[in-house]
Structure 1
């Protein structure tokens, strides 16, 4: 059985004061029936890891460099994330792909390095609104999967997050049928490439305007093993109901 995962991406939000939300979340969910992952900005990583050390909450980074070390001013290596207390990293988020011109091959190189370092990699996939309207969604997802996922992927080191770009932070949400179509497609392609064992063990998350009011119906969709949540993960009061909905799904 795949253990479900509620992942929160704080993006470029939060200062030291925000760490209190982690304590609140841990107190609400001392023994969760699902995995909880919070990915704060890099300057908060070490303090977030310390704050959650006695809880069931794990901490992840939002990006890492493909190189192990070197002259890459402003970047963070996978080993640095581990040293700061992270156990996972988000890679290939649409905001990285768009704002930093990351290509599939860039994501793949980063994922390879992160996996080699022992980090769980959450690789993000998703289509734009124009691609959705043009009925190119599955072709886009297929290309991102083949280009972004390295060959050493397993159910232990890979999580895939389907985040339609047009639904991120917009309040727009795909229909349940659209979510199911993409998640089923991803599952089939994983099994075809990596075999039934690995293909069935990789967790598939949905992301894009997930909130307490729609979480339960999204989690009822087959092959949805959790969520990658943006804005609603910043406050324990907003994220906790989503975690509870996942536990009850």
Structure 2
């Protein structure tokens, strides 16, 4: 059985409440839950920014206060990584790339390898984001192999999973999530540098956010899956973070859910003060 985090943060696994035509899953999820790892916030800047806007964003982030017990990474487009590395306060923020190649260096025009990222000093990479799955045709198996290779090269991996609205409405949500997780389990041997990001596709960039109960239900199910396939010790330490229109107005309530160990933030990560507030929402769970 997984240990409880605290008596003040009860595990909530009740059936979710519907929000904006997004139905709850069926039935109650009975699991023992909680992780005991440092709260984690990632800012995914996606394909956004200019020299001027990146400079402004970096200045805003540096001016903000981040709880010491919260781990924060920022993920700029490749072309701005060097500037961000040179100017972003490394005492508060680490860097993540938004993708990497499935294998090592070679004749792969347009790609960047995990080895190159590690060599340049980038410690994290986001893999399997729904936009890459949908727009670039990345399969579960590809995401699993990419994750395994990136870990072997020394990177930490933020591995994304999530269902579409059609899959949720059609009752296939758990089947889809289980398949995405199984592809990771089949390839990854050491989970100590893995963060799983649950990003319901219907909530990414839409302004529609899963209710805290909906998000907690899925996070608890993902942790139960890991406990079954990887063991309770791994599941207890695994950080499962939420992404999907997270902003400075809804982060506090989401952060209180027992199995939400942080956030992967899209649009709000481009606004320095808003992103800092999201980071601060993890203060209650901050660890040294």
Report the TM-score, using the length of structure 2 for normalisation. Answer: 0.82
Change in CA separation of 1:147 and 1:30 when aligned onto 2, cut-off 3 Å: closer
Structure exhibiting the larger radius of gyration computed from Cα positions: 2
Distance 1:85 1:52, change over 3 A: farther
1:77 matched to 2:107? The reply is no
State how far apart, in whole Å, the 2-side matches of 1:126 and 1:221 are. Answer: 18
Let me know the Cα RMSD of the aligned residues: 1.4
1:1-249 alignment, distance < 5 Å:
1-17=36-52, 18-29=54-65, 32-52=68-88, 54-149=90-185, 150-154=187-191, 156-248=192-284
| Structure 2 segments unaligned to the other structure (5+ residues) | 1-35
- With 14-23 and 3-12 compared, the bigger mean Cα shift is at 14-23
C-alpha distance 128-54 of structure 1, shift in aligned 2 (>3 A): closer
Q: Secondary structure at the match of 2:117?
A: helix
Aligned partners of 2:115, 2:223: CA distance in 1, in Å? 30
How many correspondences in the alignment? 248
2:162–2:201 CA contact under 8 A, matched in 1: yes
Question: What secondary structure does 2:47 align onto?
Answer: coil
Q: 1:241 and 1:158 mapped to 2: Cα distance?
A: 24
What is the TM-score with the length of structure 1 in the denominator?
A: 0.95
- Contact 1:30–1:55 (8 Å) recurs in 2: no
How far apart in 2 are the matches of 1:183 and 1:74?
Answer: 35
Is the 1:45–1:85 contact (alpha carbons within 8 Å) kept by the matching residues of 2? Answer: no
The alpha carbon displacement at 1:167 in A equals 0.2
- Secondary structure at the aligned position of 2:282 is classed as helix
Higher relative contact order by CA 8 Å / sep ≥ 6: 1 or 2?
2
C-alpha deviation, 1:54, in angstroms: 4.1
Q: Does the C-alpha gap of structure 1 residues 78 and 19 become closer, same or farther in structure 2, counting only changes over 3 Å?
A: farther
Distance in 1 between residues matched to 2:90 and 2:155, nearest whole Å: 20
Output one character per residue of 1:116-138: Cα deviation in whole Å (capped at 9) or x when no partner: 01111000000000011112211
- Give 5+ residue unaligned stretches, structure 1: none
